[in-house]
Amino acid sequence: MHARVGDRLVVEGRTVSMHRREAEVLEVRGADGGPPYLVRWEDGHESLAFPGPDAHVVPAPT
């Protein structure tokens, strides 16, 4: 997985009761665009994300 600042991190719900979550990538801390990522979630809180197999990156519009 590779991301750049401004991209969107999307984490799909693994079950029906889990909702899809999206966050904006604020900082890339891994080598060559890899995780971990500092992200801001839709509710405004920020966290360090180590995305799993249920996540993907949506590139920011250019």
Residue 33, beta-bridge partner list: none
Q: What pTM was computed for the model? A: 0.89
**What's the confidence (pLDDT) of residue 18?**
75
Predicted local confidence at residue 47, as pLDDT: 97
Mode of pairing for the β-strands spanning 37-41 and 46-49 = antiparallel
Chain segment 9-59, per-residue pLDDT in tens = 999 977 777 789 999 999 999 999 999 999 999 999 999 999 999 999 999
Starting at the edge strand found earlier in the chain, the sheet holding 21-28 runs 46-49, 37-41, 21-28, 8-11, 55-58
